[in-house]
A and B are shown apart, each in its own frame.
Chain A
Amino acid sequence: MSDFAQAVETLRPELLRYARGQLRNEAWAEDAVSDTLLAALERPQAFQGGSTLKTWLVGILKHKLIDQLRRHAREATVLDRDDAEDLDAQLFDASGHWRESPADWGDQPEALLGQQQFLAVLDACVDKLPATQGRVFMMREWLELDTDEICKELAISPTNLWVLLHRARLRLQGCLQTHWFQRATSAPPTATRP
C-alpha cells in the first residue's frame, strides 16, 4: 500500500464519525466514507497539499454526504411528531408563558467561544439531537446549505424544515443550559471555570 493510501485509510474512523453525525445511519455513513476514500484513491493528484489531507477528505466527504441524503431523501425525513408537544409543554405553561425564564448567558461571547471545552459541549449536544433534527441541523449549519436546497434535497416543505430546525435549536439551547451554563452559575462564586 502506498504512503498516500495508508494516510487516507488512517483517517477513515474520523471520517466515519463525521458521516454518522450527519446521516444518523450506519450503512449510509459507511457508504459515504467508502465513496470518499475511493474518490481520493482514484485521483491522488487532486490533493495539492495546500490544505491538510484531512481537510481535503472532509471536503470530498461533504459532497458524498449530500449524495447519500439525496439518495435516501424519503427515508431520511420522518418527522418525529411526538417530539413537538413534549418540548413545548416542558418549556411553556398552558397560557404560553415560560415555565422557567431563560437564563442570562452573559455578554462575552468571544471569551466563551474561544474555549475548547465549550465547543466540545456544543458538539456533544449536536450529536445528541434526534435523528431527523440532527440531519437537517447538520445540513444547515455544518454543510452550510441554504433552506431552499435542503427542502429540495429532502423533498420536504419549507414549513416542515422550519419546524425541524426550530426543535433542533430549542434542544441545543436546553442542552447548553444544562451542560454548560447551569454548571457555571451553580458553582461556588470563588470557583474558576475549567
Chain B
Amino acid sequence: MKTMLKCREATALVLQGEDRRLSVSERLALRFHLLICRACSRFVGQVGLMRSAMGPWRAYRDLGQDE
C-alpha cells in the first residue's frame, strides 16, 4: 500500500472499513491522508453518522410507520 492516497482511494478505504477490517498498512495510509485532508475527514464524519443511523432506521422500518 502506497503512503500517499488520493481522495478517491481514501474514500474507498473508509467505506470498506464498514464491512471488513482494514490492514495495518491501509489504516496507516488512511490516517496520513486524513491528517492533511479536511474533505475526507468530513466524509468520515458522514459515514459515522450513517452508521449511527442504522439502528434507529431499523426500528423505524420494523416498528412501522404508516405511509
Contacts and interface: CB of A to CB of B under 8 A. Distances in A.
Contacts, number: 103
B15 A123 contact: no
Given A116-B60, A122-B57, A141-B54, A161 B49 contact: no
Interface in A143-191: 144, 147, 158, 161-162, 165-166, 169-170, 172-173, 176-177
B39 A147 contact: no
A102 B40 CA distance: 7
Interface in B25-67: 38-40, 42-43, 45-50, 52-54, 56-58, 60-65, 67
Interface residues of B, number: 35
A118 B52 CA distance: 13
Contacts of B62: 55, 58
Interface stretch (A1-9, A26-34, A40-48, A104-112): A104-112
Interface of B: 6-9, 11-12, 15-16, 18-20, 38-40, 42-43, 45-50, 52-54, 56-58, 60-65, 67
